[in-house]
Amino acid sequence: MALFNFFSQEIAIDLGTANTLIIHNDEIVVNEPSIIALNRNNPKEVLAVGKRALLMHEKTHESIRTVRPLKDGVIADFNAAELMIRELIKLVYPKKPLFPPSWRMLICIPSSITEVEKRAVRDSAEQAGAKEVYMIHEPMAAALGIGIDVEEPVGNMIIDIGGGTTGITVIALAGIVCDQSIRIAGDEFTADIMEALRRYHSLLIGERTAEQIKIQIGAAMKDLDNPPDDLPVNGRDLVTGIPKQIMVSYQEIAEALDKSIFKIEEAILKALETTPPELASDIYKRGLYLTGGGSLLRGLDKRLSAKIKLPVHIADDPLKSVVRGTGLALKNYQRFPFIMK
């Protein structure tokens, strides 16, 4: 058995719509965008993965295609997902080991996932070389990563605004009590920004530019305490067809994102309505926890706490809290009851 343990290695994977992170031996060894560049003539040939593939995104010619294998938190392109997981696992050991280890993997899945989608994750992991595949719901992992004791009989509300989905979950006694999931998150914000610039400035921009705008001046409120400077944005003028540059302010972006954030607020209120009263009193004392990349939007915590009238806490490193929690769960995978075989 000891020999098997020598060849068996454990990794925790947060397979996200926007980014994939892998933890091995308690440290994050892979943190790459979930995108892969493939050769169109030979779809099994991987040209680039992660950051290098992202640099190619929307700039390719006809023999290269870039694929984002995950959509709305679940696998949309099975073959690309399997190739991407395999390539990212290779990054864990940059030097090729003499005996390739057999992996024990713990993978995060959205709590609203169907059995078929769960099966797709498991199959992709097994095809990519996993001997044992365990799964954990993302809100559980996020709670562990934030540092909440999930096993105590106290209610905690976790709001995970990721790339494809926003999950709003109430956790108590190491289980999920109620769960709302909406497909409005980072990707939707990016699409809103593209649409706003097209409508008000008749400027056509790509997904990557919109993503950069969101990161640099994205905001949830029009009046911030320390507002970011206006950002020059390059794109194609829809009227003349000539490339041009405009200056965009954070207020415009806040207005563009307003509808989507309103939908997230509605979903949080709906989740609070279905919460059992005893847990609701715990949430009143403890407030809500925000995690995921979307929680980095400027002023989002203020806007939510003004609407819901409860304290809102942002996790210390919201992009990594899910994978950290997955790493913790992997260490004690026999102890936690919510890890699915």
What would the pLDDT profile of 59-117 be if each residue is shown by its tens digit? 999 999 999 999 988 899 999 999 999 999 989 887 777 777 888 999 999 988 899 98
State pLDDT tens for residues 225-249. Answer: 999 999 999 999 999 999 999 999 9
| Closest-CA residue to 212 (of 160, 243, 248) | 248
What is the structure's pLDDT at 3? 52
What is the C-alpha separation between 139 and 152, in angstroms, rounded? 16
State pLDDT tens for residues 42-73. Answer: 989 999 999 999 999 999 999 999 999 999 88
| Closest-CA residue to 290 (of 153, 188, 166) | 166
50-53, Cβ contacts within 8 angstroms, sequence gap of 24 or more: 50/20, 50/87, 50/88, 50/91
Give, in order, the Cα–Cα distances in Å from 128 to each of 59, 78, 103, 115, 139.
28, 12, 10, 20, 25
DSSP-derived pairing of the beta strands 243-248 and 156-161: unpaired
Known binding site: residues? Answer: 17-19, 163-165, 211-214, 293-296
Q: Residue 192: what are its φ and ψ, rounded to 5°? A: -60, -40
Query: Where are the extended beta strands (E) located within 25-88?
Result: 27-33, 36-39, 46-49, 64-67, 70-71, 74-75
The count of other CB atoms within 10 Å of the CB of residue 263 is 15
What is the structure's pLDDT at 241? 96
Known binding site for ATP: residues? Answer: 17-19, 163-165, 211-214, 293-296
Tokens in use for 61? 């010619």
State pLDDT tens for residues 169-223. Answer: 999 999 999 999 999 999 999 999 999 999 999 999 999 999 999 999 999 999 9
The dihedral region occupied by 174, where left means phi > 0, alpha psi between -120 and 50, and beta the remainder, is left
Decide if pLDDT at 4 tops 60.
Answer: no
